[in-house]
Structures are given as structure tokens and as C-alpha cells.
């Protein structure tokens, strides 16, 4: 027999299977998905078996050296998935395989992670016999104590950790060893799982009785599960409408059929509260995968899944690769979140991977969100997805009232501060009532934009309708989709005001201003600076929950999933910072973020209020968010996308080039773009190359080429072909070229 093996070297030359003879001694345990050692040139390499076959086109084959694991780390399904990913995303096959593995299996040394062993005791003879020989221990009272304890607590065939036994009876291990020598007990090293939640006690929770609305939604999902339909379900429910409760019920239905479930949540929502809800319902059947775990814990959770001991997997993006083999449902909570797209190779989207796996198993993909991505919304509208709606909160609490503050008015009234009069008024009242406040400031990306503070005018590209980016060095504005430039204006082209300037405020500045305005105010700040250490995120939230602070001030980290009963006011300091990101999705992101942020207020008894400060109050994303009108927003935004030929009506593909020398980079980017253009149908738009908005990172210049297309099945293959021809430049001169299919950020 012959094995096709993908070796563990990501390069163009090794990006194909190599044939190896399978020695007879491995035949019984070698499977597709096995990790093996193979001779390769003069080296020995790790690799993965992707196929087993009877014959090879090559005459003289070398033999496999070794099969590394008893259970293959990957299944045949995952190998097929990796193959699909490499074709779909234009990455190396091995890169896709690597994305599926926990890190100890990625490298040969295992990063020093070994299985955890524990010494455990079992009976070496029948308990009956132990009792009859008990009297032989007359002179060994300590040994008798041990046996007395075990006779009561340890059944035949059962095991007990040596450590526990010694603790319970208060004896040294030596006493137990003597019993082992006498043949009463046997002692073995047994592999045990590291449990990341060992310290947490999860009380058993009963699933709640569903409301009529929830029940109706679940009925559709239930039918899909029973019919093994893999048509995705979009569950569109406002914040607090009981989506999570539906997930719990759907998972239970799947478990009842002896099938399995994956639930993806954004990394940042994977809090102990969240885990508690799932562990409370399903106990040890739940495995949790996220980056907060130690490598050993992660490895053990993964193996627990692989061995079929944990049919429910809860985790962040990469948990979509959990090695389950009987999937019945795959749930993606907050499906619009950008964290589901991996921003490094392989640049996959978990939603698309979920659909592939669901198709394979006849599982139902369920995607939940209060603000579905327009991609999903359109698919639901065109009946590619089923659409379920939960329009009201479970507790019938009204959604919070939203006030939009026109910051141009504030300026006109001579009020030039960071906080508007309405926001100050709201905060003052809140503080007086001993209620809490969340202040939100968006600051993502490095791009700066130019805005008139008098009339809200922002400079946009006439060809692409996205904000122009300010470049300080050349003092000009540039479009990073198409390369259009114009000089930086001194007066507003719209109202002639000189109050036109580039924008950007940090959380630290807001904090200073807050302390100045409200002396003695207790402020917790949550941003990349204050959450860099492990557990800091959780600590800040706990402190705020325990009302150790009046204000939680933060970036988008605080927009999601948080539920604080005492928060009655949410303030958005500058809605425009998102709106003017040089990104065609900026309106959608603004709408999503404002809706999410607003969802933090008044979730319980106390009524909530939201204040949004903006220089462009008339913008539809802000208006629709203020009226809790997703459908209105979607309609208007889609019309716009259609007109500008953006997703979801067209697809995008981004090629990014980087190198330390700009002239060389420009030359190569030109050549590659030209070759790509030559291979595309005339309807495909190949734009650029132009400077990336992140024009230089770590001394490497960056250029990009944006491709817009509708239906071009061979596009990735064609581009990979072009890149393959450039492999010498890439390998010898450190030219980097990466492709990103359906990019979320054009940066």
C-alpha cells in the first residue's frame, strides 16, 4: 500500500502530496489523517497522510519511517476540508492542516507538552477476598485503615487517584505501596485530562421554558436537525431576545440523537459566565477551546474531543476545526463579528468553514446576530438561508431610548468640549442616582480622516466613495482603493469654514477630560493598554460589576455581550470615527457597533438611555441605529452597495505586496498585477497597485491590488499560478505577496 503525504514545509515546491511505501508493521494503524515521519532528501520530516492507495506512478518509492500517534490527529473529513481550504483561500495545503491542530501536534518537539499522568489505585483481587484476608494485617493498623476506607469507597473495577486515597486516610504513600506489594491493590500511571475549569463549580441548570417566539424559532431548527438539512439558518434577534437559550435547546436535541455540536462565540465573549451557562446544562460533555487556556489544557480538551468524550465544543474561531465526527449543529453566535475571519494564513472565514462541514455531515449551521452581516442577510432574503426573527426582548423590556447629539450644534453654541451638554447632563443624573455609565470610544486602525467641525463634511474619493486618508508627510489625501489623490484642504470645500482638520482621540485623553469635569469620579479604562496581561480583562469587568467604579470607558472591547444591571447610560463619544474609516463597510460597522453598544443599557429593571455624539447626525447608519431599525438600514445600505458594485453583490480579493525597498516593490507589484490582469476575464476589475493604508509596517513598504469580480471560479487558481512563477523572488529576495479572499479590511 502507498500513502500520499503532505510534508510539514510550507513552500511552493512542497505543496503537493509525495508517495511513500507503507511498511507492513504500520498497516494496521495508518489512516488518512495520521501524522508520520518520512525521509525527504537527506532529511526526515513530519507529514500528514492525505490518501491511501494501491499504486503509484513512481517506480521507486521510499518507505515511511514512523507513525507518530496511536489515534490519527486528523480525520478523513478534516483532510478533505484542508484541501478545500487550500483551493478556496489560495494557501498551502500544510498551512490549512496546521490551522486545525493544537500547537503540541504542530511541531515535532511538541513544545514540551506531554500528557499528564496520575497514579491511580484499583483492586488487585476481588473485594470478597480482601475481606477474608483482612485479618492477616493485624499488626499493620495504617494499612487496615486504608483497606477499610477503600472497601467502603472503591467498587470493583473502579479507580481512585493515589493522592486522594492518601489524603482521605491521612497516610503516606509508603503505606499504600506495602498493600500493593502484598497483592491487595495495583497501582498504575493513567493519563488524565487537565481541566481548565477545575476550580469552577458549575451548578446544574435546567433549560428554561421557551417563550412562544423562541419556541417557533426552535421548531424550525428542530425540523432541520431531524431532516439532516444543511441549509443555514439565520437567527436574527435583538440583544436579550433569548438566542443563547435557543442554542442550548438545539444542542440538547442534537445530543438526544447521539450527535455533536460546535458553538462559536467571539473570543471576547467567552467569559466564565458564558461557559457556566453551557457547563451548567451539559456538564463534562462540554469542551472549551480558547486562547486563554494553557497549552496543556488546550491539548487535553482537544484530545477529549478527538476521543469522543466531549460532544459539545464551545470556543473561539479555531474551534470550528474541532475533530468531531458526528456533527448535528454548528452555531455561530454574533455571526457578523469580524473575529471569525482569520487575518493571517490561512485567511479563512469560520462561517464558510462551518458551512462546508455542515454539508459534509448533514448538520444545521445556525447563525445568530442582532445585526446580521449584509452577506448573510441577502442570502436569507434570496432563500439560500432560512430566516428566523426574534423582534422583542425576553423580559419585554423596551430597547433603550437613543438621543443623537449634533456636535456641530455644540460648536455653534460655543461648546467646544469632548462631552456634549446632553451627555454631561445624563452623566450627572446617573451619578446622583448611583447608577453606572459606559462610555464608548472607537479607535481602530491607524487611518486618519479629515472632517469639517462646522458642517461635518469629510473628503471622499469620487471613484470609490470611501473616505480619503490623510498622509502627513506629503500633506495630501489619498484613496487607498484606487490611488486617487488631492491636496489637503485649508478651508472646507462645502461651507468654507477653516475648522477642517484630521481626527483622532484616545481613551486616555477622554479619561483625563472626565476626571477634570467630574472630580472624584471612579473610572475604569478598558483598552489594549489596560488589558495586555492575562486575566486583566475579566478583572476590570468584575470590578465594574461589583460597582467599584461609576464609569467604564473603553474601545470596542466593551461593546459586546456585557450585561450589567446597574448601567442606565451609554455614551458614544464620536460615532464618526468608525463611519469615516476608509472602508466600504464603515456604515455597516457603525450600525452594528451602535446597536451593540446601545444593547448594553437598561437590560434589567432600570430604563436605559443612550447618547450618541456625532458630526453627521443625518447619516442613515446613525439614524437607523437610533430607531432600532435593522431592516431599514439593510435596505438603504444594500442599494448603495449595489450601485457601487461592492459585496455582497460583487466579491473582492486583495493582494498585498511588501518589501523593504520601495522601487523594487513597486516594480514587482506592477509586474504581478499586470500578469493577474492578463489572466482575468474583461469583466473583472483589477485595481492598483496602490499604497496600502498601512503604507509601511516594520520597515516594510506595502502595496495592494484590489480585485472586484462577480463569478470567476478559477480566480484563486489563476492568481496562485502567477505567484508560483514568482517563487524565486519571494524565497530569495524576501518579497512577500499574500492573497486574501473576501477580505474584511482593505488594509
Is 495 or 543 the residue whose CB approaches Zn ion more closely?
495
**Residue 180 Cα distances to 50, 125, 367, angstroms:** 47, 11, 55
CB of 214 to ligand ADP, least distance (A): 6
Is 245 near ligand ADP (CB under 6 A)?
yes
Is 4 or 245 the residue whose CB approaches ligand ADP more closely?
245
Is 389 or 497 the residue whose CB approaches Zn ion more closely?
497
The alpha carbon of residue 293 and the mean position of all alpha carbons in its chain are separated, in whole angstroms, by: 15
| Cα–Cα distance measured from residue 167 to residue 488, given in angstroms and rounded to the nearest whole number | 75
Burial class of residue 717 (count of CB atoms within 10 Å of its CB; 0-12, 13-18, 19+): exposed
The one-character DSSP state at 184 is S
Closest to 723 in 3D by CA, of 712, 711, 736, 734: 736
Report the partner that residue 464 touches, choosing among Zn ion, ligand ADP, none (CB closer than 5 to 8 A by kind).
Zn ion
| Cα–Cα distance measured from residue 697 to residue 659, given in angstroms and rounded to the nearest whole number | 10
Is 667 near Zn ion (CB under 5 A)?
no
Is 376 near ligand ADP (CB under 6 A)?
no
CB of 601 to ligand ADP, least distance (A): 14
The one among 47, 90, 196, 240 contacting ligand ADP by CB under 6 A: 240
Q: How many angstroms separate the first and last alpha carbons of the chain? A: 48
| Cα–Cα distance measured from residue 81 to residue 731, given in angstroms and rounded to the nearest whole number | 27
Applying CB under 6 A, the span of 130-138, 239-247, 379-387, 479-487 interacting with ligand ADP comes to 239-247
Burial class of residue 626 (count of CB atoms within 10 Å of its CB; 0-12, 13-18, 19+): buried
| Cα–Cα distance measured from residue 331 to residue 354, given in angstroms and rounded to the nearest whole number | 9
Is 134 or 484 the residue whose CB approaches Zn ion more closely?
484
Is 173 near ligand ADP (CB under 6 A)?
no
| Cα–Cα distance measured from residue 704 to residue 747, given in angstroms and rounded to the nearest whole number | 8
CB of 457 to Zn ion, least distance (A): 4
CB pairs under 8 A, 24+ apart, for 537-540? Answer: 537/268, 538/271, 538/272
| Cα–Cα distance measured from residue 187 to residue 147, given in angstroms and rounded to the nearest whole number | 14
Helical (H) or strand (E) element with 616: none
Is 371 near ligand ADP (CB under 6 A)?
no
CB of 252 to ligand ADP, least distance (A): 14
Is 244 near ligand ADP (CB under 6 A)?
yes
| Cα–Cα distance measured from residue 407 to residue 680, given in angstroms and rounded to the nearest whole number | 47
Is 243 or 651 the residue whose CB approaches ligand ADP more closely?
243
Report the partner that residue 497 touches, choosing among Zn ion, ligand ADP, none (CB closer than 5 to 8 A by kind).
Zn ion
The one among 481, 584, 646, 701 contacting Zn ion by CB under 5 A: 481
Is 211 near ligand ADP (CB under 6 A)?
yes
Is 494 near Zn ion (CB under 5 A)?
yes
The one-character DSSP state at 349 is B
Is 237 near ligand ADP (CB under 6 A)?
yes
Applying CB under 6 A, the span of 159-167, 233-241, 494-502, 626-634 interacting with ligand ADP comes to 233-241
The one among 241, 285, 318, 371 contacting ligand ADP by CB under 6 A: 241
Is 449 near Zn ion (CB under 5 A)?
no
For the CA atoms of the chain, what is the radius of gyration? Answer: 30
| Cα–Cα distance measured from residue 738 to residue 554, given in angstroms and rounded to the nearest whole number | 33
CB of 604 to ligand ADP, least distance (A): 9
Neighbours of 552 (CB within 10 A): 25
CB of 605 to ligand ADP, least distance (A): 13
214: three-class secondary structure by DSSP: helix
The one among 131, 208, 516, 724 contacting ligand ADP by CB under 6 A: 208
CB of 488 to Zn ion, least distance (A): 14
Report the partner that residue 237 touches, choosing among Zn ion, ligand ADP, none (CB closer than 5 to 8 A by kind).
ligand ADP
The one among 52, 68, 171, 455 contacting Zn ion by CB under 5 A: 455
| Cα–Cα distance measured from residue 343 to residue 744, given in angstroms and rounded to the nearest whole number | 9
CB of 682 to ligand ADP, least distance (A): 47
SS (H, E, C) 351-399: HHHHHHHHHHHCCEEEEEECCCCHHHHHHHHCCCCEEEEECCCCCCCCC
Is 608 near ligand ADP (CB under 6 A)?
no
Is 411 near Zn ion (CB under 5 A)?
no
Report the partner that residue 371 touches, choosing among Zn ion, ligand ADP, none (CB closer than 5 to 8 A by kind).
none
Is 211 or 670 the residue whose CB approaches ligand ADP more closely?
211
CB of 322 to ligand ADP, least distance (A): 22
* Binding string, residues 103-122; x marks residues near ligand ADP by CB under 6 A: --------------------
Report the partner that residue 461 touches, choosing among Zn ion, ligand ADP, none (CB closer than 5 to 8 A by kind).
Zn ion
Burial class of residue 128 (count of CB atoms within 10 Å of its CB; 0-12, 13-18, 19+): exposed
* 457 within 8 A of 451, measured Cβ to Cβ: yes
Helices and strands, number each (H, E), in the chain: 23, 30
The one among 26, 484, 709, 745 contacting Zn ion by CB under 5 A: 484
Applying CB under 5 A, the span of 204-212, 222-230, 449-457, 732-740 interacting with Zn ion comes to 449-457
CB of 411 to Zn ion, least distance (A): 11
Residues in the site for ligand ADP, rule: CB under 6 A?
208-211, 214, 237, 239-245, 394
**Which residues bind to Zn ion, rule: CB under 5 A?**
452, 454-455, 457, 461, 463-464, 479, 481-482, 484, 492, 494-495, 497
Amino acid at each position: 500500500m502507498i500513502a500520499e503525504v503532505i510534508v510539514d514545509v510550507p513552500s511552493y515546491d512542497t505543496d503537493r502530496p509525495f508517495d511513500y511505501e507503507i511498511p507492513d508493521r504500520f498497516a494496521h494503524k495508518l489512516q488518512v489523517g495520521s501524522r508520520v515521519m518520512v525521509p525527504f532528501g537527506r532529511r526526515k520530516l513530519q507529514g500528514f497522510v492525505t490518501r491511501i492507495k494501491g499504486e503509484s506512478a513512481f517506480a521507486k518509492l521510499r518507505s515511511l519511517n514512523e507513525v507518530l500517534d496511536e489515534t490519527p490527529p486528523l480525520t478523513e473529513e478534516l483532510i478533505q476540508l484542508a484541501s478545500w481550504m487550500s483551493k478556496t483561500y489560495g494557501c498551502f495545503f500544510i498551512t490549512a492542516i496546521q490551522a486545525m491542530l493544537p500547537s503540541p501536534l504542530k511541531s515535532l518537539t511538541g513544545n514540551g507538552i506531554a500528557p499528564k499522568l496520575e497514579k491511580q489505585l484499583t483492586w488487585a483481587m476481588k473485594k470478597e477476598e480482601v475481606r477474608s484476608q483482612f485479618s492477616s494485617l493485624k499488626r499493620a493498623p495504617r494499612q487496615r485503615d486504608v483497606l477499610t476506607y477503600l472497601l467502603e469507597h472503591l467498587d470493583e473495577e473502579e479507580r481512585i487517584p493515589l493522592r486522594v486515597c492518601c489524603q482521605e486516610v491521612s497516610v503516606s504513600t509508603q503505606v499504600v505501596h506495602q498493600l500493593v506489594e502484598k497483592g491487595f491493590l495495583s497501582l498504575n500511571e493513567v493519563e488524565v485530562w487537565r481541566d481548565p475549569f477545575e476550580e469552577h463549580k458549575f451548578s446544574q441548570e435546567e433549560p428554561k421554558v421557551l417563550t412562544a417566539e423562541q419556541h417557533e424559532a426552535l421548531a424550525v431548527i428542530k425540523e432541520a436537525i431531524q431532516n439532516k438539512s444543511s441549509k443555514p439558518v439565520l437567527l436574527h434577534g435583538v440583544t436579550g431576545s433569548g438566542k443563547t437559550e435557543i442554542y442550548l435547546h438545539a444542542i440538547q436535541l442534537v445530543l438526544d440523537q447521539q450527535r455533536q455540536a460546535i458553538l462559536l462565540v467571539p473570543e471576547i465573549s467567552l467569559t466564565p459566565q458564558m461557559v457556566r451557562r453551557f457547563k451548567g446544562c451539559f456538564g463534562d460533555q462540554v469542551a472549551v477551546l480558547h486562547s486563554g487556556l494553557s497549552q496543556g489544557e488546550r491539548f487535553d480538551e482537544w484530545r477529549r474531543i478527538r476521543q469522543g468524550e466531549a460532544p459539545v465544543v464551545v470556543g473561539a474561531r479555531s474551534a470550528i476545526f474541532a475533530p468531531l465526527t458526528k456533527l448535528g449543529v454548528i452555531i455561530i453566535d454574533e455571526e457578523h463579528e469580524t473575529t471569525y475571519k482569520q487575518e493571517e494564513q490561512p485567511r479563512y472565514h469560520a462561517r464558510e468553514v462551518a458551512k462546508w462541514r455542515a454539508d459534509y455531515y448533514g448538520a444545521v449551521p445556525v447563525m445568530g446576530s442582532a445585526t446580521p452581516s449584509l452577506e448573510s442577510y441577502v442570502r436569507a432574503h434570496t432563500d439560500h438561508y432560512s430566516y428566523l426573527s426574534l423582534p422583542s426582548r425576553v423580559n419585554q423590556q423596551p430597547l433603550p431610548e437613543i438621543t443623537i447629539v449634533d456636535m456641530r450644534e455644540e460648536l455653534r453654541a460655543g461648546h467646544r468640549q469632548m462631552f456634549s451638554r446632553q451627555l454631561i447632563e445624563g452623566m450627572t443624573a446617573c451619578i446622583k442616582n448611583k447608577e453606572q455609565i459606559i462610555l464608548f470610544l472607537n479607535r481602530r486602525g491607524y487611518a486618519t480622516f479629515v472632517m469639517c467641525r462646522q458642517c461635518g463634511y469629510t473628503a471622499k474619493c469620487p471613484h470609490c466613495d470611501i473616505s480619503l486618508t490623510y498622509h502627513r508627510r506629503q500633506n495630501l489625501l489619498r484613496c487607498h482603493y484606487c490611488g486617487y489623490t488631492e491636496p489637503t484642504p485649508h478651508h472646507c470645500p462645502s461651507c468654507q469654514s477653516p475648522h477642517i482638520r484630521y481626527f483622532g482621540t484616545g481613551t486616555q485623553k477622554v479619561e483625563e477630560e472626565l476626571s477634570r469635569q467630574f472630580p472624584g469620579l471612579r473610572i475604569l479604562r478598558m483598552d489594549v493598554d489596560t488589558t495586555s496581561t492575562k486575566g486583566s480583562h475579566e478583572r476590570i469587568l468584575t470590578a465594574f460589576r461589583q460597582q467599584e467604579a461609576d464609569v467604564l470607558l473603553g474601545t470596542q472591547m466593551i461593546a459586546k455581550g456585557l450585561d450589567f444591571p446597574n448601567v442606565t447610560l451609554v455614551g458614544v463619544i464620536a460615532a464618526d470615527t468608525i463611519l469615516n474609516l476608509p472602508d466600504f463597510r464603515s456604515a455597516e460597522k457603525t450600525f452594528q457597533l451602535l446597536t451593540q453598544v446601545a444593547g448594553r443599557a437598561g437590560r434589567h429593571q432600570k430604563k436605559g438611555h443612550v447618547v450618541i455624539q456625532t458630526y453627521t447626525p443625518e447619516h442613515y447608519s446613525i439614524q437607523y441605529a437610533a430607531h432600532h431599525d435593522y431592516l431599514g438600514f439593510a435596505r438603504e445600505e444594500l442599494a448603495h452597495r449595489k450601485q457601487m458594485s461592492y459585496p455582497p453583490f460583487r466579491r473582492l480579493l486583495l493582494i498585498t505586496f511588501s518589501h523593504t525597498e520601495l522601487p523594487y516593490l513597486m516594480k514587482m507589484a506592477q509586474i504581478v498585477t499586470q500578469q493577474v490582469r492578463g489572466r482575468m476575464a474583461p469583466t473583472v476589475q483589477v485595481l492598483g497597485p496602490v499604497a496600502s493604508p498601512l503604507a509601511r509596517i516594520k520597515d516594510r513598504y506595502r502595496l495592494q491590488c484590489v480585485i472586484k469580480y462577480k463569478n470567476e471560479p478559477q480566480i484563486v487558481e489563476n492568481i496562485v499560478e502567477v505567484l508560483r512563477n514568482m517563487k524565486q523572488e519571494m524565497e530569495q529576495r524576501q518579497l512577500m505577496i499574500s492573497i486574501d479572499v473576501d477580505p474584511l479590511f482593505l488594509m
